[in-house]
Structure 1
Amino acid sequence: MKPLVRTAALSGYVELCRTLGIDPQALMKRVGLDTAALTVQDRWISGAAAVQLLELSATASGHDDFGVLMAEFRRFSNLGPVSLVVREEPDVRSALGLLIRHQHMYNEVLHARLSEGDGLATLKVDLQIGEAMEARQATELAVAVFHRILRGFLGAQWQPLSVWFRHPAPADTATHRRAFGPMVEFGREFDGIVFYSDDLDAPNAMADPLLREYARQYFESIVVPKDDTVGDQVRELIEVLLPSGRCSVEQVARSLGVDRRTVHRQLASSGVTFSSLLNATRMDLAEQFVANPRRSLTEISDLLGFSSLSAFSRWFSERFGCSPRAWRSRQSRQKRPGQD
């Protein structure tokens, strides 16, 4: 089954369309949706249809910043029931962690994850739509919503160290810089937000300690457990551990609180191995990193946990059929004609 999103994911859509002079009903009809559905926030609709709708709307309005503009209509309550308990969490770390842990309750397309290292926190945002399609607007909307949530906790003057997007910059970046600040960058290797880890320890000014337990009890009565596989957990740990040079099945097992045999056995029951997940994760990251000319190949080798640049180059050539330098050059030539 393809992922769904709550209709709340399109909160502000009709209002923004009218502001920009385009017909929301006609556009929604093209993707099989109806504006009447948006009157009930907890109705579930096709995630692919919602993503396609944002792209069509950006084209129809002539606004490459459609997703960022739409985020300005968002309210905390649009997150649904999870917003009640998040509002009462004692600090930003626990609030953000709860939002990420239960993201499937408000958006099955959204896959965000938080990692920390060297005093920095990185919030990466991925969209898993279930089919290949352009998702620039939905990606920018998701990142902008997380940015607004963090500002809600940390204050209107808070600024991240940087906001990154994988896609190229629009012709006019004024809206992005107004929304995110001056450190918004395009053509990077992931979509997300980088900020100081200390920000996660900031107290939540909205929280009422007396209400937290009530909110937790209510939420636990309606929470829908996430169907996380061991493979999903192992893959996330691999991505976190690779740059440290300590990415081994033993280290992953320790992080999961089990022994290595348990990891091997549970992965085998899913038809995968630790080595296959390690290679698949490295390949996904390698494509992102090598495509970015700002990253040196030596730096990429370290980020992917290789002992030397030559070892990385051999591994890359075996899997991609050419050296990382040749692959980067080819990608650059393919992108150039379509860039503004």
Structure 2
Amino acid sequence: MSSVSAIRASVLIPIIAHMEKTGLQTDALLARHGIMRSQIANPYAMVPLTAYVSFFEEASRMSNSTNLGALLGTTVTPGDLGPTGVLFNISPTILDAMRRVTRYISAIQGATSNGLWQEGDDYVWSYQISSSKLWPRRQDSEFTLSVCCQLIRLGFSRTWRPQEVHFEHPAPRDTTILEKIFRAPLKFAQPSNRLIMAGPEAERSYRSEDPALVAVLEHHIAELAEKTNATESMRERVSTLISIHLGYRKITIAGMAADLGMAPRTLQRRLQEENTSLRDMVERHRRELAQKQLTGNVDKGRISESLGYADSTVFWRARQRWGRHDG
């Protein structure tokens, strides 16, 4: 995760092009969100993430397309993402491609949590903008997961489909278009946005790659990523892991320490030095997610499951505790 809240201007280009094809004027819309046309003339320029998210949401409303993000994702090509997209496209396996996305996503955007891990026979890729204050952000979530599916189908197999697709936002009234795009079961009001991928398909080798070309691309991407990355506190690193794993596997100090490559006691001490603890951070994260999902009228049983509670009774007790704390 990068702590710089910005995104490459290249991501905005297909959104703007689509709107202008439908006859919508974009200059005024860009200006309302503090984005100048000159900013996006350079695809390597950075645009504030807050401006991008709010612009994307309003673009969806103006174009009368609630599925704008997911639909635009199906039009993206590897070249649209610069060297990161090219590196994805020449990877020998889907797993290699997703590992590289996970490693180099900060070359495209900052302040983002993403991770890739194996769960049984499947692989899980998780994506989420780090700040809970950037909400709603449905268009970005559906766009990003749609782009990943599109790149996999272009670079590896036209018939590829994930095992499941998870979204952090509540379910829309009509999911027909999303089902056609993702070709997989959809789950909403989840702790994070996720693609669940079948292991054998992800590990299948499609091609040999040119090591020299890979080295050149990775060097260039690493330089881009370095420009957007900043030194992260231990709190930020743990927060990233919580957002990735919450509701999917039990969060423990031992598990977090293993992911971070340190001893549990060291992690506890580092968090104490930043005046927090894993328990407090998980509680805060659950509370923020619960508030968003309750606002979206999500079923309380589903909320408790997505937050990693044993049942709705435990969730109810947590809400009572939060209420007493506020009082």
TM-score band, normalised by shorter chain:
0.7 to 0.9
In structure 2, do the counterparts of structure 1 residues 136 and 183 end up closer, same or farther at CA, with 3 Å as the change threshold?
Answer: same
TM norm structure 2: 0.79
Describe the SS at the equivalent of 1:193: strand
In structure 2, do the counterparts of structure 1 residues 120 and 104 end up closer, same or farther at CA, with 3 Å as the change threshold?
Answer: same
* CA distance, structure 2, for counterparts of residue 18 and residue 203 of structure 1: 40
Select which of 24, 27, 33 maps to 1:25.
Answer: 27
User: Is residue 319 of structure 1 aligned with residue 322 of structure 2?
Assistant: yes
| Correspondence for 2:274 | 270
> Which one scores higher on RCO, CA 8 angstroms, separation ≥ 6?
2
Describe the SS at the equivalent of 1:29: helix
TM norm structure 1: 0.76
| Correspondence for 1:54 | 56
| Correspondence for 2:72 | 70
Asked if structure 1 preserves the Cα contact closer than 8 Å seen for 2:191 and 2:306, the reply is no
TM alignment of 1:136-285, pairs within 5 A: 136-170=138-172, 172-181=174-183, 183-205=185-207, 207-220=209-222, 223-224=225-226, 225=229, 227-237=231-241, 240=245, 247-283=251-287
Describe the SS at the equivalent of 1:157: coil
Comparing 236-245 and 86-95, the one that deviates more: 236-245
Q: Number of paired residues?
A: 317
Instruction: Name structure 2 gaps, 5 residues minimum.
Output: none
Instruction: Name structure 1 gaps, 5 residues minimum.
Output: 323-340
Describe the superposition over 1:294-318 as per-residue Cα deviations: whole angstroms up to 9, x where unpaired: 6496x669x44x6x98767655543
Write the letter of the residue equivalent to 2:232.
D
Q: State the shift of 1:176 in Å.
A: 2.1
Q: State the shift of 1:159 in Å.
A: 0.9
Structure with higher Rg: it is 1
Q: State the shift of 1:41 in Å.
A: 0.5
Cα-Cα RMSD: 3.5
* CA distance, structure 1, for counterparts of residue 121 and residue 209 of structure 2: 25
* CA distance, structure 1, for counterparts of residue 234 and residue 321 of structure 2: 28
Asked if structure 1 preserves the Cα contact closer than 8 Å seen for 2:189 and 2:293, the reply is no
In structure 2, do the counterparts of structure 1 residues 321 and 201 end up closer, same or farther at CA, with 3 Å as the change threshold?
Answer: farther
In structure 2, do the counterparts of structure 1 residues 207 and 293 end up closer, same or farther at CA, with 3 Å as the change threshold?
Answer: farther
Asked if structure 2 preserves the Cα contact closer than 8 Å seen for 1:5 and 1:46, the reply is yes
Asked if structure 1 preserves the Cα contact closer than 8 Å seen for 2:7 and 2:46, the reply is yes
TM alignment of 1:92-103, pairs within 5 A: 92-103=94-105
In structure 2, do the counterparts of structure 1 residues 270 and 152 end up closer, same or farther at CA, with 3 Å as the change threshold?
Answer: farther
| Correspondence for 1:116 | 118
Write the letter of the residue equivalent to 1:125.
Y
Describe the SS at the equivalent of 2:35: coil
* CA distance, structure 2, for counterparts of residue 280 and residue 35 of structure 1: 38
Describe the superposition over 1:6-28 as per-residue Cα deviations: whole angstroms up to 9, x where unpaired: 11111212321133231122322
Describe the SS at the equivalent of 2:209: coil
Write the letter of the residue equivalent to 1:268.
Q
| Correspondence for 1:16 | 18
* CA distance, structure 2, for counterparts of residue 216 and residue 162 of structure 1: 30
* CA distance, structure 1, for counterparts of residue 83 and residue 175 of structure 2: 34
Describe the superposition over 1:301-339 as per-residue Cα deviations: whole angstroms up to 9, x where unpaired: 9x44x6x987676555433569xxxxxxxxxxxxxxxxx
Comparing 159-168 and 218-227, the one that deviates more: 218-227
Asked if structure 2 preserves the Cα contact closer than 8 Å seen for 1:231 and 1:270, the reply is yes
Of all paired residues, the percent bearing the same amino acid is 18
